[in-house]
Amino acid sequence: MVSVTKQSNSSRRLASIELVFIGVALAMMLIPFIGMLWAPTETTTENRELAAVPKLFTQDGGFNVNVLDDAGAYFEDHFAYRNTLVSANAFLRASLGSSASDSVVVGKEGWLYYTGTLPDYLGQSTLSDRALRNIAHNMALMQGFAKAHDAQFVFTVAPNKNSMYPYYMPEYYIQTTQVGNWGRLKPYLDAYGVNYVDLFEVLGSNTETLYYRQDTHWNNKGALLGGNSLLTSYGLEPLSIEDNMWVERNDYIGDVARMLYPSNPTPELAYYARGYNDGPSQNGSLWEWIQGSSVEDDFSRTKSAGEGHLVVFRDSFANALIPYFSATFAESTFTKLVPYDAATISVQEANYVVVERAERHLDYLAANAPIMPAPMVKLDVDLADAGMQSLGTTLQVIQDGGYTVISGELDESLWDDDVDIYIEVPSDDGQIRFYEASTLSSIDSPYKTSDTQLLDEPEESISAIQGQDKLESDWGYVAYLVGDRDFSGKTLKAIAMKDGKLLGYASFTI
């Protein structure tokens, strides 16, 4: 009897423990839902809008058949303590060498990488030879425009972090042994005579750590090294910052750290140069803002006691360059706006021009030509042979921002990696004029924008592998002619040439 009683008490205690466990588990599961009454999540570190409150009815008064899906999306974005729980999960998984975010790769020794750089690292984003030629050709045209306005031009590509520091990447990602897009682009730049600085060599030859561990970009020492290489390419003196001019602060929070640990990312060590970027928001006492107030601004201008005018067409890698350049030149202009508006060079009376692009966005340069007047050229061609006409070539004319824009795509029969494209235009005085067109690769890209700016920050929550840019065709063209021109009833021609010889042409009566 005593034994039965003991067994009964033991069973009751076990049942009580099980009930408490179930109750605690249910409470923990309900807290994110019930907690929305007093602590809903209203902000996120992701570069997107949170889901809106679901509605039973649509704007036209009909029942919203997606209301349950909308409610699920709303809960996923707004459940209580979301950022804290996401961070806790990320810390736990990172300790096991795994990432809780599709946008972040957890590397070794606390290093974090942006997944948007994986296609380059793995050799999955190889551009075609024609796309690379398009980049070099368009940079050559932009350099020619700068030269025509008495400005020196230099082009550069900022390396992905895992291109510089592959040894902290997880071993299950195998770095490609193929030559990357930058290495394959350089011969085309050389062929077109484009002035460029190879930051892969400049940074790779230095033994210091020049990138942040938990950010996609170089640190201030890396930016100084890169910036000095650009200054010396102009024949200017590099900045000299002695060791005692550096200020160390453990206050930098990287972009990928914010993505992975939204509620409590850990600051890392950063170096600041006195007078250049040691003030709030990387401001410095050696320079000041004329327009804008942050290195993050899409368009900004600065001034200092330096000499000359600088224009930088840039992305986020140039954030850290702004303080150094601003202290060097009398006036500096920095623009992220795309497509690049080359008129900025003349408007700002630039003496020096930089085009800087991140390695992971090289394809953008193949797909977006700078906005600038197409150069007029002389062609010695005979277009009398109707057999040379290409029926599949397209051409359209629009008016846009003070330009007449002529664009289209070559017929497949004219596709050749070395083809040049020209536009024949009749003028009001009866003369025929020829213009050299920029060459384009059409692109299906999560980063592509139409007319204002490219948001290239890694906070974009996309899967780098699944959302990788896709170049669909490499034989597009565009030519900007100054002024609103009326070609009604006139015939325009798109002309394809290779090595000075006619491949074919297409006529279009507008």
pLDDT value of residue 447: 32
Contact 350, 430 (CB under 8 A): no
As a whole number of angstroms, the distance between CA 37 and CA 79 comes to 10
The torsion defined by the Cα of 25, 30, 31 and 32, in degrees rounded to 10, comes to: 120
Q: With 0-12 CB in 10 A as exposed, 13-18 as middle and 19+ as buried, what is 351?
A: buried
Rounded to whole angstroms, how far apart are CA atoms 53 and 61?
Answer: 17
Residues in the chain: 510
Is residue 163 within 8 Å of 200, Cβ to Cβ?
Answer: yes
Both tokens of 411, joined, read 């017929």
pTM of the model: 0.80
Ordered domains of the chain (ranges, CATH) = 11-110 (no CATH), 376-509 (2.60.40)
Please, are residues 133 and 141 in contact by the beta-carbon 8 Å criterion?
no
Q: Quick one: tokens of 322?
A: 């702004």
Long-range CB contacts (< 8 A, 24+ apart) of 227-233?
227/321, 227/324, 227/325, 228/324, 229/197, 229/199, 229/202, 230/154, 230/156, 230/197, 230/354, 231/328, 233/154, 233/195, 233/197
3-class SS string, 76-92: HHHCCCHHHHHHHHHHH
| Residue whose pair of structure tokens reads 């409590």 in the numeric block | 264
First to last CA, the chain: 106
Sign of torsion over alpha carbons 54, 59, 60, 66: negative
Contact 185/136 with Cβ under 8 angstroms?
A: yes
| 484 vs 36: CA distance, rounded Å | 56
Give 504's Cβ-side CA count (13 Å radius).
16
AA identity, residue 111: W
Q: What are phi and psi of 462, to 5 degrees?
A: -130, 160
Backbone angles phi, psi at 463, to 5 degrees: -85, 120
Using only C-alpha atoms, the chain has a radius of gyration, in whole angstroms, of 28
Closest C-alpha to 502, from 494, 396, 409, 438: 494
Q: Which helix (H) or strand (E) holds 304?
A: strand 299-304
Q: Where are the alpha helices (DSSP H) in 296-440?
A: 322-328, 343-347, 362-367
* Residue 8 φ then ψ, to 5°: -65, -45
Pairwise CA distance, residues 229 & 222, whole Å:
11
Segment-wise mean pLDDT, segments of 10 residues, the chain, 510 residues? 56 71 67 62 61 71 69 62 55 52 86 94 92 97 98 98 96 93 98 98 95 97 98 97 94 90 85 94 94 96 98 97 98 96 97 97 94 94 71 90 93 91 88 94 50 41 37 88 90 92 88
Distance CA 193, CA 139 (A): 10
At residue 128, the pLDDT reads: 94
* 195-198: long-range contacts, CB 8 A cutoff, minimum separation 24: 195/143, 195/152, 195/153, 195/154, 195/155, 195/233, 196/154, 196/155, 196/156, 197/154, 197/155, 197/156, 197/226, 197/229, 197/230, 197/233, 198/156
